[in-house]
Amino acid sequence: MATDFPKKGDDLKISLRNSEYPQFDHDFASNLKDNNPEIWELGGNIRGNEAFNLWSRARDGAETEGVLDWIKEREAWAARHFEDGSQFSSGDLEPTRSNVAGVVAQIKWGVIGTLGEQKMKDTILELIKKLEGKKEERAISDLTDTARTGLENKVEEHNEEYGDTETKRVTLGMLGQKCIFAALAHTKRTRLQFAQAFNQPNSGQWLASIHSCSHFAMSDSKADNTTLIYSRRAIH
């Protein structure tokens, strides 16, 4: 009996290798899932998440009935949704949370659509950078004058030394956010506890922690933008 794969009437083994639709970068998809849930959830939280799990299992060599059925379903899904994301082809449209759902869904299904893999990545990374910028603004919005001045001095010192190299430059928001992440990871405090302690006039221990970790935060700026985006842990 013919497998009807990848198209009706064909008789190839049902596998991702025989698909007419090349796989998207699984590592990128996995990083997006782990580090940017606010974007990941835009691509369908039920079947989309199931699709990613089945894709992962298929890549690991699973050949259960559920996985094989999904591989065939992926072929039909890819044909229907191949043009999703075409609005970004010209590069004129700025990605937002309200217009990237189709691209995120393609990523969950492991499908490279009409944009091509690199353009899909660029679109998502642009949105991540935009959202990270807003987080940086929030990270410094409630600092005391003393804390803000301390971080501003750190930024100035760092940029005087490394300012000629664009990828090593830091901003106040970038440093503030990274320091908060580092301090939270080190102390296992919640963001609220940290914010409350950090803004107390006598919080010497916290100020010491934030200043010492600023050295680590700025050294992390040696990485490229993609690495920086995915080096940050989500703090809840």
Containing domain of residue 110, as a range? 16-131
Position 122 in a domain: yes
For residue 2, tell me if it sits in a domain: no
- Write out pLDDT tens, residues 78-124: 999 999 999 999 989 999 999 999 999 999 999 999 999 999 999 99
Judging by beta carbons within 10 Å of its beta carbon (0-12, 13-18, 19+), is residue 111 exposed, middle or buried? buried
For the stretch 52-90, pLDDT in tens is 999 999 999 999 999 999 999 999 999 999 999 999 999
**In-domain check, residue 10:** no
Shared domain for 150 and 109, answered yes or no, is: no
Domain boundary among 131, 163, 194: 131
Kindly state the tokens that stand for 7: 């198209």
Query: At a CB cut-off of 8 Å and minimum separation 6, what does 157 contact?
Result: none
How many domains does one find in the chain? 2
pTM of the model: 0.64
